[in-house]
Amino acid sequence: MSDSPALLRATGVSKSFPGVRALDDVHLDLRHGEVLALVGENGAGKSTLLKLFSGIYRPDEGAMELDGAPMSPSGPRQANELGISVIHQEFHLMPDLTVAQNIFIGREPRRAGLIRDDELVRRAGVLFERLGIPLDPRQPVSHLSVAGQQMVEIAKALSFDARVLIMDEPTAALTETEVDTLFRIVRDFVSPRTGVIYVSHRMDEIKEISDRITVLRDGRYVDTLPTASTATREVIAAMVGRQLETGVRPGAASSGSAPGADGREVVLSVRGLTTRKLLRDVSFELHRGEILGFAGLMGAGRTEVARAVIGADRSTGAVEVQGRAVRIRNPADAVRNGIGYLSEDRKRYGLLLDQDVVRNVMLSALPGMTRAGFVRDADGRRVAAEMVDRLAIRTPSVTQTAKNLSGGNQQKVVLAKWLVRDCDVLIVDEPTRGIDVGAKDEIYGLLTSLAAQGKSIIVISSELPEVLRLADRVVVMCEGRVTGTLVGADATQHDIMELATRFGTDRSLVTTGDSA
């Protein structure tokens, strides 16, 4: 591509795992002083490529160069020493250690064998000042918000003398202001001797921050495009290999149905839901066949509502399912009442990662798949195969281990688990977090068609276009309270943001129910 040696280059790299060719003859070159966006659908091979750069995997074929010199890091530590720092999608922090201890773990300043905590805190302080991060180095990481933890990861990566900074979906958990801070840090970092590889699904961010875009698809190299002269539509077309309807379609899901869901049967009614920590008097109704959006800023309490409703956390308040008052003390009670929850954290709360698709799909409906106390595995395999077809789960087989699937397909497996159990109410928390554009579309299509089949769905999402596209009505939360309910067809991003930032105690402005 370029004549001068690239800062970081991969030439014809391939990597296979049992049953999967994750990377096939892939090229990438990062020039000095640029931000290179790396895009592709889930399963396109981005994460695998990053893991080659960080020494977690070794390529089966092909070569990597740093400044024209061959390199093959033997592990993350050596990659760091070479000047390659990676910020992974998942955090690798020790919650009980302080911020400073986390940043300098493995490199603690010592005197006579004893760790110098004062020096540790000082160095972290200097680093934070340079990066403009407002954190106390002495704070335990467990006290930080997700965004705060993200900042610690970034500070840790930059505490090495990094020349190549690789960020894997760094903004997934950040609010807009925090994204601005992140971009400022990235811009400060870039110099003629450094470069950044930026992996993201958010096209607007890629537009804003990157110079060029490298596209992967199905483990293969597709193209590298200059950001300034490429339309978003072209990038997406390169990613999915076909033209795709994008853009916001407000209230699309409700276009065929009555706005506000008036007159439809109330399937779930929640009154005065309150938790000790955050929620205050949260009330809402969910109708049959409705998609109810929950919007709000990070920490507004949307996930907490879901966890309280399914009995994962303690709460007070009244819950009615199909008009019957029920007491839900734990998730088992919730499932018995036909309420299934798809967590935003699929790996922690959604999947048995070490087990195969069959076992995952069967898990919630197992008691119904027994005869005389014995589990009928044949049933499970049949049901799983049906689900693989119905949801178009891309997996070599139903006995594939869940951890080997891409994010979008993992999400479908979790969804399949609840469909098998035939839950009437699905609470879907950030359904497309970490999922690429093409698979997002599929998930949207699935949720919409499930609602059309009479399922009632609550969608919690931080992405406003997503909420507006899917939801018939949108409940907006701020600081643990419901600050308003909007009808999807009329709602705008501006309306939602206005309600989502309605801080303070002015509850007289709160509008609830279908009055909007």
Partner 1 sequence: MTTPSTTTARTERAATRFGNRQQLQQILAFAGLVVIFAFFSFASPYFLDWANVKGILLATAVTGIMALGATFVIATGGIDLSVGTGMTLCSVMTGVFLANLGLPLVVGVLGGLAIGALIGLLNGLNVSYLRLPPFIATLAMMMVAQGLSLVISGTKPIYFSDVGGFDQLAAGELVPGLPNAVLIFFAAAAIAGVTLSKTLTGRYALSIGSNEEATAISGVDVRRWKVVIYTVAGLFTGLAGVVMASRLNSAQPGLGLGYELEAIAAVVIGGTSLRGGKATILGTVIGALIMATLTNGLRIMSIPQEWQKVAVGIVIVLAVYADILRRGKEA
CB of 370 to partner 1, least distance (A): 7
**Cα–Cα distance, 49 to 28 (Å, whole number):** 9
The interface mask with partner 1, positions 3-42, x = CB under 8 A, is ---------------xx-----------------------
Segment near partner 1 (CB under 8 A), from 34-42, 146-154, 334-342, 469-477?
A: 334-342
The interface mask with partner 1, positions 214-243, x = CB under 8 A, is ------------------------------
**Dihedral sign for Cα atoms in the order 62, 64, 68, 73:** negative
Closest among 390, 303, 381 to 349, alpha carbons compared:
303
- Closer CB to partner 1, residue 111 or residue 327? 327
Binding-residue total with partner 1 (CB under 8 A): 45
Segment near partner 1 (CB under 8 A), from 86-94, 150-158, 205-213, 389-397?
A: 389-397
By the rule CB under 8 A, 497 interacts with partner 1: no
Whether residue 284 contacts residue 270, with contact meaning beta carbons closer than 8 Å, is answered with yes
**Cα–Cα distance, 293 to 166 (Å, whole number):** 34
- Closer CB to partner 1, residue 170 or residue 380? 380
- Closer CB to partner 1, residue 243 or residue 370? 370
- Closer CB to partner 1, residue 88 or residue 417? 417
In degrees, rounded to 5, the angle at the alpha carbon of residue 213 between the alpha carbons of residues 211 and 215 is 175
**DSSP three-state, residue 324:** strand
Segment near partner 1 (CB under 8 A), from 6-14, 141-149, 365-373, 449-457?
A: 365-373
- Closer CB to partner 1, residue 87 or residue 335? 335
The one-letter amino acid at 243: Q
The interface mask with partner 1, positions 414-453, x = CB under 8 A, is ---x---x--------------------------------
Q: Which residues contact 98 (CB under 8 A, 6 or more apart)?
A: 137, 138, 139, 140, 141
Closest among 433, 429, 398, 435 to 413, alpha carbons compared:
398
Q: For 326-345, give one letter per residue: b (16+ CB within 10 A) or e.
A: bebeebeebbebbbbbbbbe
Segment near partner 1 (CB under 8 A), from 3-11, 211-219, 279-287, 382-390?
A: 382-390
By the rule CB under 8 A, 408 interacts with partner 1: no
- Kindly list the distances between the CA atom of residue 369 and the CA atoms of 179, 288, 364, 374, in Å, as whole numbers in the listed order: 47, 27, 10, 8
Helix axis angle for 437-452 and 407-421, nearest 10°, is 10
CB of 363 to partner 1, least distance (A): 5
Q: Return the residue of 102, 159, 210, 400 that touches partner 1, per CB under 8 A.
A: 400
Whether residue 383 contacts residue 361, with contact meaning beta carbons closer than 8 Å, is answered with yes
**DSSP single-letter state for residue 512:** -
- Closer CB to partner 1, residue 54 or residue 194? 54
Q: How far is CA 84 from the centre of its chain?
A: 24
By the rule CB under 8 A, 381 interacts with partner 1: yes
CB of 335 to partner 1, least distance (A): 3
Closest among 182, 221, 230 to 46, alpha carbons compared:
221
- Closer CB to partner 1, residue 212 or residue 455? 455
By the rule CB under 8 A, 385 interacts with partner 1: yes
The interface mask with partner 1, positions 294-333, x = CB under 8 A, is ----------------x-x-----------------xxx-
Closest among 297, 304, 292, 281 to 481, alpha carbons compared:
281
Q: Return the residue of 349, 490, 493, 501 that touches partner 1, per CB under 8 A.
A: 349
The one-letter amino acid at 65: E
Give the interface with partner 1 as residue ranges (CB under 8 A): 18-19, 310, 312, 330-332, 334-336, 340-341, 343, 348-356, 359, 363-364, 366-367, 370, 373-375, 377, 381, 385, 388-389, 392, 394, 396-400, 417, 421
